[in-house]
Amino acid sequence: MRRLVLPTLSGVLYFLSWIGFGIWPLAFVCFVPLLWALRDATPRRALWLGAWMGFVTHLGGYTWIMHVLQVFANAPLPLAFAGYLVLCAVQGLLFGVMSYVLVWVGRRTRWPAAALLPIALVATEFGYPLLFQSYTGIALMPVLPLVQIAELGGVLILSALQAVVNGALFDALEAWRSGKPAPVGAMAASLVALLGSATYGYVRLVRVERVERAAPKAPIGLAQPNVGELELHEHPLASVRTLQDETAELHARGAELVIWPEVGFNTRPLRPGDSDGRAITGAVPVAAIIGAVRVDGRKVWNSALVIDDRGRIGDHYDKIQLLAFGEYIPGGEWFPELYEWSPLSSPLARGQSTAPLRWRSWRFATFICYEDILPGIVRSIMAD
């Protein structure tokens, strides 16, 4: 049990650094306890120590999985809790693989942790399959100057930045404890990485702000009924009327376009040939991008659609990355009876197009739910 203390500490520091807890400075020290535990570990032991760290950090960061399973999969609490534990173990194994790679390569190269950890972490985050994708670098999202380097290498370059600093701190700690010379190279590399990233970010933010000030603008309003999933299903008309009232209010305040939430219009699906959206927006003479369900035969999509100020339905975007247990059940294509046990987990079709939504001269890159944190989809949509 004593061997698990340091990996446990790393797991706690990791999830506390993440979005939701937001103590982002911990992102630069969260791997240090794990690295200390791995000093004399074999690759096999490193696998289990890292997997435990990953299990702990997912326990802290993924408690919402129980809610998803209870609401969408209709699972009783004990079953939802069991599913939560299984998911945490499977996803947490990413850090076990990372630790295995780190120790295996370290034994053959004797490179410092400031070099090994970025390689092991980035390689594992790139290649390890996850049901719910997540990246270490997301912890830096509150620090705008640092995250600008993501345009150079995606979210993985943010993971690498954290890993360089964690590795350098571990190298310095190990040198101090063993009486060896300070790892000047590792510390200098981490300092250069931090200062270089921050400098690039500040310059980039100034340039983007200039472009934003010079760009043409349009007043846009956001409508939100603020109701839960079950209430949406039990009282769909009430939430739609709330959105229509808010749309009218936003139009009166000068909005030229109003954005509705995901599946904000949920009283009926839209079908091929539907072209009049006035009943959707309450005949308010303002353009809107609304969330709705589209159907065509047996196919069902979670979609975003444009309705112009005359009520005409225009472009649509269909969600590509579906939410497991909410919009599909893993394995449901082979065992359809799973959907009978989980009535709210609708088997939706995946969208096929990343084309933008058009309104007037504007083109809108569209992301539904958590698609905006998935690098592959973001790159594809922005390329269009």
Give residue 332's pLDDT.
58
- How many domains are contained in the chain? 2
Give residue 126's pLDDT.
94
Q: What is the pLDDT of residues 54-72, one digit of tens each?
A: 999 999 999 988 988 887 7
Percent of the chain with pLDDT over 70: 93
| Spatial contact of 246 and 284, defined as CB atoms under 8 Å apart | no
Residues 148 and 290 in one domain: no
Q: Is the pLDDT of residue 163 over 70?
A: yes
Q: How far apart are the first and last CA of the chain?
A: 52
Give the mean pLDDT of the chain: 90
Q: Is the pLDDT of residue 234 over 80?
A: no
**CA gap 139, 236 in Å, rounded:** 36
Give residue 340's pLDDT.
59
Residues 25 and 148 in one domain: yes
Give residue 259's pLDDT.
96
**CA gap 59, 15 in Å, rounded:** 9
Give residue 157's pLDDT.
96
Q: Which of 81-90, 174-183, 333-342 has the lowest mean pLDDT?
A: 333-342
Q: What is the pLDDT of residues 333-381, one digit of tens each?
A: 666 656 556 555 567 888 999 999 999 999 999 999 888 878 888 888 8
| Spatial contact of 352 and 299, defined as CB atoms under 8 Å apart | no
Q: What is the mean pLDDT of residues 104-110?
A: 92
Percent of the chain with pLDDT over 90: 68
343: which strand partners? none
Q: What is the pLDDT of residues 122-160, one digit of tens each?
A: 999 999 998 888 899 999 999 999 999 999 998 999 999
Residues 359 and 285 in one domain: yes
Residues 48 and 188 in one domain: yes
Our CA dihedral for 140, 88, 369, 302, rounded to 10 degrees, sits at 160
Q: Single out the residue in 195, 214, 233 at which a domain terminates.
A: 214
**CA gap 321, 372 in Å, rounded:** 10
Residues 187 and 289 in one domain: no
Q: What is the pLDDT of residues 299-324, one digit of tens each?
A: 899 999 999 999 999 999 999 988 77
**CA gap 18, 139 in Å, rounded:** 4
| Spatial contact of 91 and 131, defined as CB atoms under 8 Å apart | yes
Residues 27 and 123 in one domain: yes
| Spatial contact of 9 and 33, defined as CB atoms under 8 Å apart | yes
Q: Single out the residue in 199, 214, 229 at which a domain terminates.
A: 214
80 or 31, which is more confident? 31
Residues 109 and 145 in one domain: yes
CA-based nearest residue to 341, from 50, 28, 74: 74
**CA gap 327, 300 in Å, rounded:** 10
Residues 236 and 365 in one domain: yes
Residues 209 and 226 in one domain: no
pLDDT band at 328 (very low <50, low <70, confident <90, very high): confident
Residues 204 and 78 in one domain: yes
Parent domain of 27: 2-214
Give the β-pairing of 287-296 and 257-259.
parallel
Q: Is the pLDDT of residue 161 over 70?
A: yes
Half-sphere exposure for 272 (CA within 13 Å, toward CB): 5
Burial code of 228-257, b = ≥16 C-beta within 10 A, e = fewer?
A: eeeebeeebeebbebbbebbbebbeeebeb
Q: Single out the residue in 168, 191, 214 at which a domain terminates.
A: 214
| C-alpha distance from residue 95 to each of 123, 124, 148, 350 (Å) | 11, 8, 26, 30
Residues 23 and 89 in one domain: yes
Residues 239 and 199 in one domain: no
CATH number of the domain where residue 267 is located: 3.60.110.10
Highest mean pLDDT, choosing among 22-31, 235-244, 261-270, 294-303: 22-31
| This prediction's pTM | 0.85
Q: Residue 85 CB: number of other CB atoms within 10 A?
A: 14
- What crossing angle do the helices spanning 113-127 and 150-178 adopt, rounded to 10°? 140
Give residue 3's pLDDT.
86
